[in-house]
Amino acid sequence: MAAPLTTVPTVPPGRASRRASRPSTQHQRFNTRAGRAFDVVNVVLLVAVGLLALLPFLYVLAGSFATELEITTRPFFLWPRDFTTDSYASILSSDAFVRAFVTTVVVTLVGTLVQLALTALMAYPLSKVDLPGRRTIMTVVVFTMVFSAGMIPTFLVVKQLGLLDSYWALILPMAINPFSLIIIKNFFQQLPQELEESAKIDGAHELQILRHVVIPLSKPVLATFALFYAVGIWNDYMSPLLYLNDQDMWTLQMFLRQVTASASLSAQDMGAELPPPAQGIKFAVVIVATIPVLLAYPFLQKHFAKGMLIGSVKG
């Protein structure tokens, strides 16, 4: 693994090196023989890793279209013998599901925006080393990261604030994740100060600097945490359980959790003669819960790829 630390060029001779030594573009700069060999190995490796990540998901997908008998009798398959959409029909048939789906999408979108805005607004001032009170605030933030008061005290506060049976109860109690706050703050801190300073000399207001200098430069990290927050809200089943009495307001996870959790942690219910939820339905639930978040990803991904365009900001 030891990488040569020397700055002497180690490019092997040959046509490749000649090409590489020309003023290069993205596509030319690694075209050495070793470079190409690495590329091949790397691509093969990453494709393998990708497949490894994908296969189990495909199994779940196949299972969600299979009959109960097939799931019970065949250990692993990627294509169901008897194709059926019964599992999806039994999930999607109810109005409650459709309503919950819409609710969840809206709450997730609004919530992500609110949470990200609050986090960025707090992270930016904290990225200034000289800010009065910074150390105290950071200590508190770190403490709240390692210790949360627990379910019941938080419930009592949310209730006190009159947030019960309000969608804000799904958004505000988790509005600023201390972990996200710290990472975002550190990214802000790493930005070149000169840009901010020159904006200041041009007479820009702090909010304007945040909006027009800092945020554009931090798009990748903000997109990342948008995804984190969105996934957090999307997967949250505890908040709706605790804070929403009105079942018309419930989010998707309240229903999905019912199907997936009942078989694992409380399998041995000695009560009613109810068969556990069918495996196929559980698989379908996993798919329904996962696909929308996976689909959201490419939309955010374009912000990762570009990198920061310092030039354009300067201009």
Partner 1 sequence: MRTRRLAPLALLAVGSLALAACGSGGGDGGDGGGGGEALDSLSIMAPYFSATPPEDDDPVGAKLSELAGLDLDMQWVPNAEYGDRTNVVLAGDEIPDVMVIQQKSQGFVQTAEAGGFWDLTEYLASGDYPNLVTENPDVQQASSVNGKVYGVYRARDVVRTSITIRKDWLKNLGLEEPTNTDELMALAKAFTEDDPDGNGKDDTYGMIIPAWGASIGTGSPYDAIETWFGAGNVWKDEGGQLIPSFTTPEWKQALDYEKQLIENGYVNKDYATMDGSTQWNEPFLNGKGGIIIDVQSRASQLAGLFKEKDPKTYDQFVALQGNIAGPNGDFALPTPGYSGFLAVPKASVQTEEQLKQVLTALNELSSTEGQVLENNGIEGDNFTVEDGFAVNDESKQDYTDLVSGSWAQIGTNVAGYEAYKPKPETEYDAELEQERVDLQAKDLEKAVFNPGAALVSETYMTNGVQLDQVIADARIQYISGQIDEAGLDAAIAQWKSSGGDAVTAEMNELYGQLG
Partner 2 sequence: MTAVVDVEQAGTPAPAAPPAPRRPHRGWARVVRYRWLLVMMLPGILYFLLFRIWPMWGAQIAFKNYVPFLGIQGSEWVGWHHFQEFFSNPDFPRLLGNTLILAALSLFVAFPLTIVLALLLNEVRLSVLKRTVQTLVYIPHFLSWTVVVSLTALLFAIGTGPLSSFLDGLTGTETNYLADPDWFRPLILLQTIWKSTGWGTIIFLAALASVDQEQYEAAVIDGAGRWQRTWHITLPAIRPTIIVMLILQTGEILNTGFEQIYLMSNALNRTVADVFDTYVYFTGIQQGAYSYSTAVGLSKAIVGLVLIFGTNWLAKRFNQQGIF
Which of positions 45-64 make contact with partner 1 (CB under 8 A)? none
The H or E element that residue 195 is part of is: helix 193-201
Q: How far is the CB of 248 from partner 2 (least distance, A)?
A: 25
Q: Which is nearer to partner 2, 83 or 179 (CB)?
A: 179
Half-sphere exposure of 155 (CA within 13 A, CB side): 11
**Nearest residue to 121 (alpha-carbon basis) of 193, 192, 206, 202:** 206
Sequence-distant (6+) residues with CB within 8 A of 279 are: 63, 68, 71, 72
Q: Cβ distance 280 to 88 under 8 Å? A: no
Positive or negative CA dihedral for 218, 224, 228, 231?
positive
- Per CB under 8 A, the list member of 144, 216, 242, 276 interacting with partner 2 is 144
Q: How far is the CB of 250 from partner 1 (least distance, A)?
A: 9
Q: Give yes or no for residue 164 binding partner 2 (CB under 8 A).
A: no
Q: Give yes or no for residue 165 binding partner 1 (CB under 8 A).
A: yes
Q: Give yes or no for residue 198 binding partner 1 (CB under 8 A).
A: no
Between CA 237 and CA 256 the distance in angstroms is: 9
Binding mask 78-117 for partner 2 (x = CB under 8 A): ----------------------------------------
- Per CB under 8 A, the list member of 268, 305, 307, 315 interacting with partner 1 is 268
The conformation of residue 218, written as its DSSP 8-state character, comes to T
In one-letter notation, the amino acid at residue 75 is P
Q: Cβ distance 251 to 238 under 8 Å? A: no
Q: Which is nearer to partner 2, 15 or 306 (CB)?
A: 306
Between CA 313 and CA 211 the distance in angstroms is: 12
CB atoms within 10 A of CB 137: 14
Q: Which is nearer to partner 2, 152 or 274 (CB)?
A: 152
Distance of CA 203 to the CA centre of its chain: 36
Give the 3-state secondary structure of 72-132: HHCCCCCCCCCCCCHHHHHHHCCHHHHHHHHHHHHHHHHHHHHHHHHHHHHHHHHCCCCCC
The one segment of 65-73, 90-98, 241-249, 289-297 that binds partner 2 by CB under 8 A: 289-297
Q: Which is nearer to partner 1, 54 or 157 (CB)?
A: 157
Structure tokens at 181: 């706050």
Q: Give yes or no for residue 138 binding partner 1 (CB under 8 A).
A: no
The CA-CA-CA angle for residues 73, 76, 77, to 5°, reads: 100
- Per CB under 8 A, the list member of 14, 18, 19, 21 interacting with partner 2 is 21
In the range 204-243, which residues lie near partner 2 by CB under 8 A? 205-207, 210, 217-218, 220-221, 223-224, 227, 231
Q: Give yes or no for residue 23 binding partner 2 (CB under 8 A).
A: yes
In one-letter notation, the amino acid at residue 254 is M
Distance of CA 156 to the CA centre of its chain: 29
Q: Give yes or no for residue 179 binding partner 2 (CB under 8 A).
A: yes
| Chosen from partner 1, partner 2, none, partner binding at 131 (C-beta under 5 to 8 Å by type) | partner 2
- Per CB under 8 A, the list member of 105, 113, 118, 215 interacting with partner 2 is 118
Applying CB under 8 A, which residues contact partner 1? 67-69, 72-73, 90-91, 93-97, 113-114, 117-118, 121, 151-152, 155-156, 159, 161-166, 168, 171-172, 175, 205, 207-208, 210-212, 237-238, 241-242, 245, 247-248, 254-255, 257-259, 261-277, 279, 281
